[in-house]
Chains A and B, each alone.
Chain A
Amino acid sequence: MKLFAVLSALVLVLFAASLLIGPAGFGAGDSLRALFGGQGEAVTLVMREIRLPRALLAVMVGVSLGLSGAALQGYLRNPLAEPGLIGVSGSAALGAVIALQTGMAAAFALALPLAALSGALIAVFLILALAGPRGGSLTLILAGIAISALAGALTSLTLNLSPNPFAVSEIVFWMMGSLADRSFSHVWLALPFMAVGWFLLLRLGRGLDALTLGEDAAAALGIRLDRLRLTMVLGVASSVGAATAVAGAIGFVGLVVPHLLRPFVGARPGALLWASALGGAAMVLTADIAVRLVLPDRDLQLGVLMAIVGAPLFLHLIYKTRRQL
């Protein structure tokens, strides 16, 4: 409970900071007055249509990625499982890019999250089929590399074939992710899919806790493993798909956050789920504030910061688990 209070407070503080920090430096008082009371002035427009959706999306994307990382790690009982590293985010980005470049997304708005979800779904199924139920580290990472490489190449190919001259320069967005200049249309597009994903993943707690005792023991405790697996797959695909469709593939959130919070929840994967959801939100909010402070005019991609933080941790985890490899 104490952890819950601390994480919630952290998310609230960072959310407020995200609303108050921006290139147009007006004071906190003006900002809040404009956000809650103002009518039609420029400051109100900035607060309500530019900063508020951006901060909300940071929270939503963070919750989705943190939760998915914790669920994958709990199910596979492997601390290296993360949607970005095993190719789920990359495949979701491929789905999103195909929906955008074929014009499907323009004709039917929901085609964008649906295509990203389908991409994510295919990747999760492939990973589970290749890595097996125990999720051995070596097969997991190798399968992840292969799926990421293929999805990345096909994303580049699709964007290279686009008649739009800007599309090629956006390869970096789809591989690294950014929340710059997103609007409420993206919030409403992603939220239903994310909400379904969160609902499915947060229900996994009891099953994942039981699974720490082994599959036979979990089955003896009344856990239906096939249902657990299906719920996990659909939950991850739905939340990561929707997050990637609007923000690009942001890696390492689902790796770093569960790793940092695991000691605080007594290594119980069930409790780690909601803790990672809040922790993910805090982490993406922090990264999104940092990209605006470090290089305000350059649209630095979120994934760059996340990889700088996450990749050394990934190396550390590989080092620790290398006996299994």
Chain B
Amino acid sequence: MIAAAGLWLAAASGHADTVPQRVVSMNLCTDQLAMMLAGPGQLISVSDLAADPDTSPMYEAARAYPANHGGAEEIYLLRPDLVVAGTFSDPTVVAMLRRLGIRVEQLGLVQSLDQVPDRIAQMGTILGREEQADAEIAAFRDDLATLSAPPDGPRAAFYYPNGYTLGTGTLSHDILTTAGYRHIAGELGRSTSGRLALELLVLADPEVVITSSPYPAASRSEALMDHPAFAAVTGARGAFLSSNDWICGTPLVLNALRDLVAARE
């Protein structure tokens, strides 16, 4: 107990150059990178979303870690010497943890496939696990090269609940075009993500529509996918459901890419 308290004090005093021993991750995407790269016992908690099969491809691995819910109080009581968060994690929590003397590292959003190695390298440096990170990066680059397909695939659109569609500057756009699909955002002149009226989707008439798997219980947002006009656009084949591999810029996006390439055949 005394030893643990001593360790905590040493960590709280903040040595950025020392290798962190008690790491807490509070963001779904940093959870995945941390679980891939951390040494035994180094990672002590991941966010509760990491164990949710709807959003997390590593939900089984995540069950081995105690979950946190992103609150400053509970994270502080875990006595971490490093907290990893996303740039969009709750700023009040991040500020409070820093005020309490805890080192917080924030990783940025991944907006294209070529940023994935950067994030892996960043996490490797933060955790002091550069070797593991280099191995992951090399494997990622090899797999990516074999999966890239010529850009003559079907015309595709993203259409998520509430009619939300993705623009060209997104990771999903990059996955789609790397698999050789032609994204209709270009034709429609939409570089940013946002709401696309159902009638505009109908008129654009894409060959493939990518949407998310429905969550449990009902919502009006997802009821849009039951609209007869949406069914007419997706046709007999139905919509392509994007899995939890699509959400974060980790090596697991290669699974999303693999599914898309397979769906072309």
Q: Which of A45, A100, A166 contacts B229 (CB 8 A)?
A: A45
Contact A103 B218 (CB under 8 A): yes
Given A166-B161, A299-B162: A49 and B216 interface contact (C-beta under 8 Å) = no
Cβ-based interface call for A173 (8 A): yes
Interface size class of B (residues with CB under 8 A): 20 to 34
B139 / chain A contacts, CB cutoff of 8 Å: none
Q: Is B264 in contact with chain A by the CB < 8 A criterion?
A: no
Complex interface: stretch among A72-80, A135-143, A157-165, A210-218? A157-165
Which chain B residues (182-205) contact chain A, with CB distance < 8 Å? Answer: 194-195, 197-200, 202-203, 205
Q: Any chain A CB within 8 A of the CB of B220?
A: yes
A23-B200, A24-B203, A297-B194 as given contacts; A163 in contact with B227, CB under 8 Å? no
- Looking at the complex, which one of A51, A185, A299 makes contact with B195 (CB distance below 8 Å)? A299
- Please give me the residue from chain B that is nearest to A167 by CB atom: B219
Q: B217 near A103 (CB under 8 angstroms)? A: yes
User: By the criterion CB–CB under 8 Å, are A49 and B219 in contact?
Assistant: no
Q: How far is the CA of A183 from the CA of B220 in the complex (A)?
A: 12
**Cα(A299)–Cα(B220), bound, Å:** 13
Flag whether A9 is at the interface (Cβ < 8 A).
no
A220 to B149, CA, bound (A): 86
Interchain CB contact under 8 A, A46 and B227? no
A46 to B230, CA, bound (A): 10
Are B202 and A42 in contact, CB atoms less than 8 angstroms apart? yes
CA distance A42 to B194 in the complex (A): 22
1/0 per position for A192-236, CB-CB distance to B under 8 A? 000000000000000000000000000000000000000000000
What are some 29 contacts across the A-B interface (CB < 8 A)? A22-B199, A24-B197, A24-B200, A24-B202, A24-B203, A42-B203, A45-B229, A45-B232, A46-B203, A49-B228, A50-B227, A50-B229, A100-B217, A101-B218, A162-B218, A162-B219, A163-B215, A163-B216, A164-B219, A166-B215, A166-B219, A170-B220, A170-B221, A183-B226, A183-B227, A183-B228, A185-B226, A297-B194, A299-B195
Since A24-B202, A164-B215, A166-B162 are in contact, a sample of 19 more A-B pairs with Cβ atoms closer than 8 Å, ordered by chain A residue number, is A22-B199, A24-B197, A42-B205, A45-B229, A49-B228, A50-B202, A103-B217, A103-B218, A105-B218, A162-B217, A164-B217, A164-B219, A164-B222, A165-B215, A166-B219, A167-B219, A170-B221, A173-B220, A181-B163
